[in-house]
Structure 1
Amino acid sequence: MEGDSPRMFRVRVPSDAQRFGVAAVSLYQLLTKAARKLKLAERRDGPLRVCLEEDGTEVGDEEYFSVLDRNTCLVILKHNERWTGVGVHAVSHAMVHFERCTHDVLEIFRNDPNGKLTNILKNFLNSIEDCSERESRQDDPTWFEGVENRFKHKREEMRHRCKTRMRGYLSDAVAYKNKVPMEHQKRYEELLQLIRNELKTQCFNQDYFDRSAAVEVRLCDNNGQFSCQGAYNKQDCQYQHKINPYANWESRIQFSVWNLDHRCRTGARQWRW
């Protein structure tokens, strides 16, 4: 990458929200400068790693690093540290308690013959603000909290989020090559190159999350609502899970860990959505 212009990134460590600016032309240079800036250079407890602050996607190679946007927020990790993304910890914690209390809640509603508790729940759900009809930063500033200033409309941020997610999947596939038997690695690299070329041709399928895209391309409806498509080996989701990341800030954050194949990986467990 010699001769490339350096790009500015914002780096931090998991235990401190303060960010520092670092200019780099390569992943290696970023790690070197970040370690110095964050006073991690002297530590010898394993190689440092880099991941996206927003969703925890690991930046594991120069190829993925080369497509990161300027001013991307990155978290520098020691070998034994993990980062699952802004808001993900809260969502995961909530899901644990949701699983534990679902049975008790259903029992309460079954024993509510007059429907009093049901009406209370309906009133509560109706009170949750739904701003999905608003599109611009000016009309719904709360939704854009933590979103880069260059994005002025929700669809722009959602397209960027889709591209980031697809690039993360590609990075995972590249990293998996080390686990492929040597006799199959050449064929695996050929397949990776085909996938890489197709993704670039399709702009990393950025239209998937854009509610203004053509119906046959996007994965949501006109209002921005996504429906769980079920596990990979099922035709659909029996629970009919739905989410609209365009509705409010909370839904946007939750959507960052909402997998469209019905499973979200958190640590060693897999949560059903």
Structure 2
Amino acid sequence: MLPTTFVGVLVLLMVVTPGILLESLRQRAQPTRSDSAFLETARVLAAGVLLSAIGLLLMSTLAVVSPRAIIDLRSAMVDPLYVPGHLLLTLYSLVLFLAFTTTLAGVYSSIFLYPGILGPIAQESAWVSVFAGLLDRLNREQAGELAGRTIRTQVQVELKSGPVFIGTRDAFTVNEAMEGRELVLATPLFTVKEDGSVVAMETGWQRLIFAQSEIAVIRVRFAPNPNGARPVTKEPRSARALRMLADLFRSPRWLALLLVAELALPALSGHIF
């Protein structure tokens, strides 16, 4: 049965939010399984209830150490006029509770979900990760070595029927289902003979279009384009700051320090004010 009152819906959201976050982090760190909707919902609720219980324990500890830092939990549950009379403090306490539970979800995922895994699992197709994500990362990491040049993505496509082609990646579809996607190669275009020799295609052929359903293997090589120059641009400070912040939030040490700060700052502010 779903809650019908505003307070009931608010409590449900407060409990479910950390569970949804932890489930999302789990899907990024562990291979996807074809679980039923019931099992996924049960995981979200179980994680949410557990994290909320720990969050309530932290809130209770904070209330004992610094009673003025957050709302009086007992009065909020017993006195119907307490919450309307302390709206700002109630909102602040709810935000603090969410900060506790979501940080706890991050700490758990960074410690227990990633052992043995070299990197996060992408929830997208491999050729989107390679052709777009990896290419962008290489452009950032090798900006100094490239000296304003572009990176050319050379692709070797081996078809299920046997022929092998080499060209420069031009375009690829991402919005269609996998069986409906296509890959386009641009000049210079080559074919690979059975003896392994590479032969240039006749002049005049501009593009090769391959249906994903006909491709057996895709081999990718990134190389600086000697003829392709671009304006030398630096990564925006905002983007660099967000990337550094995301890296910090993947560290169990920094997440633990953040949790300590979330506890210490309200406690100190309660004593000061």
TM-score bracket, shorter-length normalisation? under 0.3
Task: State the structure with more CA Rg.
Answer: 2
Bigger share in helix:
2
Larger relative contact order (Cα-Cα within 8 Å, sequence gap ≥ 6): 2
Q: What TM-score, normalized to structure 2? A: 0.22
